[in-house]
Amino acid sequence: MAKIVNSWNDFDPLKHVIVGLADHSCIPPEEPATSEKVPIDSEMRGMWGPRPLETVEKANAQLDNLAKVLGENGVTVDRPSPLQWNAPVITPDFRTDSMMTCMPPRDTLLTIGPEIIEAAMSFRCRFWEYLAFRPLLNRYFNEDPEFIWTQAPRPRLTDISYKHNYYDERISLEERLERTANKDFVTTEEEILFDAADVLRIGKDLFIQHGLTTNRKAMEWFKRRYPDLRIHAVNFPGDPYPIHIDATFVTLRPGLIINNPQRRLPEDQRKIFEANDWQIVDAAQPAHKNPPPLCYSSVWLSMNCLVLDHKTVICEASEVNQMEQMDKLGMNVIPVPFRDAYPFGGALHCATADVYREGGCEDYFP
Ligand code: ABU
């Protein structure tokens, strides 16, 4: 029996990680939670079904290469067991005609120290996604006597979990930003809803983005579930589609964060960092004007990097501005091509989930 699971942040030395797989990935049909996430001018509007096979193969080639590079850098890599995602999700409360993928494990699994939590996700199409990770979690449970396996309260995702008049293609960008500023998002507070990728772990402190995929009730759940940790609600008023914190606010090492310059953390929420001498720097501009075809995410996947330790980071190989900035910030950069994987749910941080990093639960904000 060995210790397999331990990770309290995104920057201590990474030793074991899960890397997603694109097999059988689908574009899901629109549903209350996803409508808002697909930009109005996206070619994906109204389209659903299995993703073209050649795109799946290209994504898997880059995911496999990431796994190889991680292995060469001393990181053990596990892979999920994809389901046939091209099947409906039917529960007593809803039906949607397709699932999605298990490529971005970061959305589904949240590691807090010796514990992995299966998130309470708001997309109906992602209702069963955690099943792809069950063989791994079961193995960790068999082999690590200290591993704590948690499933957050399963949401029912009935109609009352969503604001049904929320999606409106006629609203302007300014109105969208006003909604973000007013913390007016598509989910209601009926039940606990969160994606794991909305949670930034910095030791004793969890910074959780309130947005399209995570509600206030989730923050309350974290507060009650983790009385020894400090829970901070954060929001980024410059983001018209706030979903996941890891292309917005990214830690590189203790004391250093890169922040998306279009989604700056408001002054009042910066105080805790400034009071503890943390530096928040604007992330470099993305190298690309547009995301690749059939991609849900923004060009800011440029900053969605995977930190291997306090001095080493994996960046997407074409993100020249971001790599140059990392270099100036004193990081050694390992470039890895990854844009073919973006459409399947994100970049290098999204595509992974921590299993083991060295280090413990430090208090960085005493
Ligand atoms: N999963 C991260 C996506 C964030 C963004 O689209 O900017």
Could you report the predicted ipTM of this complex, rounded to two decimals? 0.97
pTM: 0.96
Going along the chain from its start, the domains and CATH numbers come out as 14-357 (3.75.10.10)
277 included as an active-site residue:
no
> CB neighbours of 7 closer than 8 A, spacing ≥ 6?
111, 112, 113, 201, 354, 355, 356, 357
> CB neighbours of 243 closer than 8 A, spacing ≥ 6?
37, 195, 198, 211, 212, 213
The pLDDT of residue 138 is above 90: yes
% of the chain at pLDDT higher than 90: 91
The pLDDT of residue 40 is above 90: no
- Ligand 1 pocket test, pick from 103, 213, 298 with the greatest ligand atom count within 8 Å of Cβ, gives 298
Reported as a single tens digit per residue, the pLDDT across 273-294 is 999 999 999 999 999 999 999 9
Annotated catalytic residue, options 107, 195, 246, 309:
195
The pLDDT of residue 55 is above 70: yes
How confident is the model at residue 38, as a pLDDT? 66
Residue 36's pLDDT band (boundaries 50, 70, 90)? Answer: low
Reported as a single tens digit per residue, the pLDDT across 183-240 is 999 999 999 999 999 999 999 999 999 999 999 999 999 999 999 999 999 999 999 9
Cα angle 177, 248, 123; round to 5: 70
168 included as an active-site residue:
no
CA 347 to ligand 1 center in whole angstroms: 9
For residues 33-44, average pLDDT: 68
Q: Starting at the edge strand that comes first in sequence, how are the strands of the sheet with 249-253 ordered?
A: 249-253, 256-259, 279-282
% of the chain at pLDDT higher than 70: 98
361 included as an active-site residue:
no
Nearest protein Cα to ligand 1, atom 2: 244
CA 212 to ligand 1 center in whole angstroms: 11
The pLDDT of residue 24 is above 70: yes
